[in-house]
Amino acid sequence: MKTVHVDTGRPYDIFIERGIIDRCGEYAEQLSKAEKVVVVSDTNVAPLYQWRVLNSLSQHGFKVKNHIFPAGEGSKTLDTIAEIYKTLADFRMTRRDIIVALGGGVCGDMAGFAAATYLRGIDFIQVPTSLLAQVDSSVGGKTGVDLPQGKNLVGAFHQPIAVLIDPDTLNTLPDEFIADGMGEVIKYGCIKDAAFFEKLENEDALSDIESVIETCVSIKRDVVSRDEKEAGERMLLNFGHTLGHAIEKIYNYTGITHGMAVAVGMALIARAGEKQGVTAPGTADRIIKLCEKYGLPTDTEVAFADMTQAAMGDKKTAGSKINLVMLKQIGESFITPLPLDELESFITI
């Protein structure tokens, strides 16, 4: 087992081990005084794993109930949150009871937001089953839902009491969802770890996935521990996301995954940085080549004007400016504020 300790306002551990999904009840019993547990999952993940989690929890004395919502980003809405609240209320959940988020990033975001807001906050455990969730979204306490105007515009910082990562769940993922997660994996090399980036270039990340997961969550752990509420350094984790979120919005969150959109965003921002003279020449080509190695797109038919318009609703806007994450070189990133009215010309290649 690999264990990564996260030292936030409420510390917790990330456990990485094959088969750990069957020990969810054991960890819940150690970490909580709950009597009841609601397992939140989606229509893709629930048929595969919910009974293993529910059985483990039941064997450790918990009263259990599940809540299943339709899979996909389109379900990441306040209407879906209201349905989760109804399940919690009907089950008479109390402040000592807990939620288990069983699924990918959408599930973790919504179950976490429900936990953050129901009864003004109850505990939850993350059991991420997608590569993207295992390397990124399950760690750090960001929860939230989308609005028609943009992604993750409603949310809260709410740390889990544990993250249980079972790499075996990746065996049931279609190739496009492995690629989806690799978008975030590559991001970590870009912003913080040149040696890790080079390893991804020279080796097959999937051949030693436990170490890849551990490296990514350790980088995120370090950043989040220093900046839990995204006042500064944590913004670096958004490399590629400003334009990526804009592309997702334009596609109405269908036909392109989050990691794929981020890959396009990273390539565009690296190209823009080279054009502006702030990013080392050749950086974009390395990012593009690595993204293509893992099946990720690096360009888009979306017009720069449309992308800029969509980006104006991004959370990273501050007044008339937007905070862009740029690279000096692979492994070294920085934040630069840019007037919104200059964004289109800045990214136009």
**Range(s) of the domain holding residue 222:** 175-347
Active site residue 120: yes
Active site residue 344: no
Would you state the structure tokens that stand for residue 97, as one six-digit string? 């009871």
Same domain, 137 and 14: yes
Same domain, 217 and 132: no
| Count of domains observed in the chain | 2
* Domain boundary, last residue among 138, 156, 172: 172
Same domain, 318 and 255: yes
Same domain, 221 and 208: yes
Same domain, 94 and 229: no
Same domain, 324 and 181: yes
Rounded to whole angstroms, the Cα distance separating 11 from 225 reads 9
Same domain, 247 and 122: no
Active site residue 5: no
Q: Please identify which of the residues 67, 73, 76, 184 carries the catalytic annotation.
A: 184
Q: Please identify which of the residues 36, 76, 142, 158 carries the catalytic annotation.
A: 142
Which residues are within 8 A (CB) of 80 and not within 5 positions of it... i.e. 6 or more apart?
A: 69, 110, 145
Beta carbons of 312 and 295 less than 8 angstroms apart: no
Active site residue 220: yes
Share of residues in the chain with pLDDT > 90 (%) = 88
Same domain, 27 and 113: yes
Beta carbons of 119 and 95 less than 8 angstroms apart: yes
Active site residue 245: yes
Q: Which CATH number belongs to the domain containing residue 66 in this structure?
A: 3.40.50.1970
Beta carbons of 261 and 245 less than 8 angstroms apart: yes
H/E stretch holding 102: strand 98-103
Same domain, 322 and 182: yes
Q: What is the pLDDT of residue 315?
A: 66
pTM to 2 decimals?
0.94
Q: What is the pLDDT of residue 231?
A: 84
Q: What is the pLDDT of residue 321?
A: 87
Active site residue 234: yes
Lowest average pLDDT, out of 16-20, 202-206, 285-289, 313-317, goes to 313-317
Q: Which CATH number belongs to the domain containing residue 265 in this structure?
A: 1.20.1090.10
CA distances for 112 relative to 3, 43, 98, 105, 130, angstroms? 21, 18, 11, 10, 16
Q: Please identify which of the residues 33, 120, 171, 202 carries the catalytic annotation.
A: 120
* Residues 35-47, mean pLDDT to the nearest whole number: 98
pLDDT over 80 (residue 188): yes
Active site residue 241: yes
Same domain, 91 and 210: no
